[in-house]
Structure 1
Amino acid sequence: MLQLASIKKSFSGKEVIKEVDLSVNKGEVVVIIGPSGSGKSTLLRMINALEYPSGGDILLEGNSILFKESKGKKHPYSEKELSRFRTEIGMVFQGFHLFAHKTVLENIIEGPIHVRKMKKEAAIEEAKVLLEKVGLSDKQDAYPHSLSGGQQQRIAIARALAMKPKMLLFDEPTSALDPELVGEVLVVMKNLALEGMTMVVVTHEMGFAREVGDRIVFIDQGVIVQDAPPQHFFHSSNKNERIHKFLNTLTRNAV
Structure 2
Amino acid sequence: MLELIDIKKSFEDKAVIQGVDLSVRKGEVVVIVGPSGSGKSTLLRMMNVLEYPTSGDIKLEGASILFKESRGKRIPHTQKELSRFRAEVGMVFQGFHLFAHKTVLENLIEGPVQVRKANRDEAIALAEQLLQKVGLADKRDQYPDSLSGGQQQRVAIARALAMKPRLLLFDEPTSALDPELVGEVLVVMKSLALEGMTMVVVTHEMGFAREVGDRILFVDNGTILFDAPPEEFFQEQHQHERIRRFLKSLSKDGEEAKRHA
**TM-score (normalised: structure 2):** 0.97
Matched letter for residue 142 of structure 2: A
Q: Which residue of 1 aligns with 2:107?
A: 107
* Cα shift at 1:247: 1.2
Write out per-residue CA displacement over residues 31-89 of structure 1, whole angstroms, 9 at most, x where no aligned residue.
00001110000001110111111111000000000000112211001111100000000
Note the alpha carbon deviations across 1:159-186, whole angstroms, 9 max, x for none: 0000000000000000000000000000
Cα deviation, 1:99-119, whole Å, max 9, x if unaligned, reads: 111110000000011111111
SS in 2 for 1:9: strand
Corresponding residue for 2:72? Answer: 72
Alignment-mate amino acid for residue 196 of structure 1:
G
1:204 aligns with 2:214: no
Q: Take 2:228 and 2:238, find their aligned partners in 1: how far apart are those partners?
A: 10
Supply the distance in 1 between the matched residues of 2:139 and 2:78 (Cα, whole angstroms): 38
State the 1:237 CA deviation.
Answer: 3.3
8 Å contact kept, 2:238–2:244: no
Matched residue SS, 2:110: helix
Q: Alpha-carbon deviation of 1:238?
A: 3.4
Give the alignment of 1:23-172 within 5 angstroms: 23-172=23-172
1:150 & 1:79 partners in 2: Cα distance?
Answer: 33
- Gaps of at least 5 residues in structure 2 are 256-261
Equivalent-residue separation in structure 2 for 1:202 and 1:116 (angstroms) = 27
Aligned residue for 2:11?
11
Contact 1:233 1:239 in 2 (8 A): no
Q: Distance in 2 between matches of 1:243 and 1:148?
A: 35
Rounded Cα–Cα distance in structure 2 between residues aligned with 1:11 and 1:174: 27
**Aligned partners of 2:158, 2:239: CA distance in 1, in Å?**
36
- Indicate if the aligned counterparts of 1:94 and 1:174 stay in contact, CA closer than 8 A: yes
CA contact 1:44–1:169 (8 Å) conserved in 2: yes
What secondary structure sits across from 2:102 in the alignment? coil
- Could you tell me how far apart the structure 2 residues matched to 1:77 and 1:35 are? 33
2:258 alignment counterpart: none
Q: Name the Cα RMSD after superposition.
A: 0.7
How many positions carry a matched residue from both structures? Answer: 255
1:242 equivalent in structure 2: 242
Deviates more, 1:128-137 or 1:69-78: 69-78
* Residue aligned with 1:43, SS: helix
Would you say 1:186 and 2:186 are equivalent positions? yes
| Matched position secondary structure for 2:97 | coil
Distance 1:239 1:128 in 2: 48
Shift of 1:252: 1.3
In the alignment, residue 243 of structure 1 is paired with which amino acid? I
The amino acid of 2:159's aligned partner reads R
d(CA) in 1 for partners of 2:117, 2:19:
38
Instruction: Write out per-residue CA displacement over residues 174-224 of structure 1, whole angstroms, 9 at most, x where no aligned residue.
Output: 000000000000000000000000000000000000000000000000010
- Once the two structures are overlaid, the 10-residue window that deviates more, 142-151 or 229-238, is 229-238
Would you say 1:20 and 2:26 are equivalent positions? no
The CA distance in 1 between the partners of 2:70 and 2:113, in whole Å, is 32
Partner amino acid, structure 2, of 1:96:
F
Aligned residue type for 2:2:
L
The answer to whether the aligner puts 1:214 opposite 2:217 as a matched pair is no
Q: Secondary structure at the match of 2:249?
A: helix
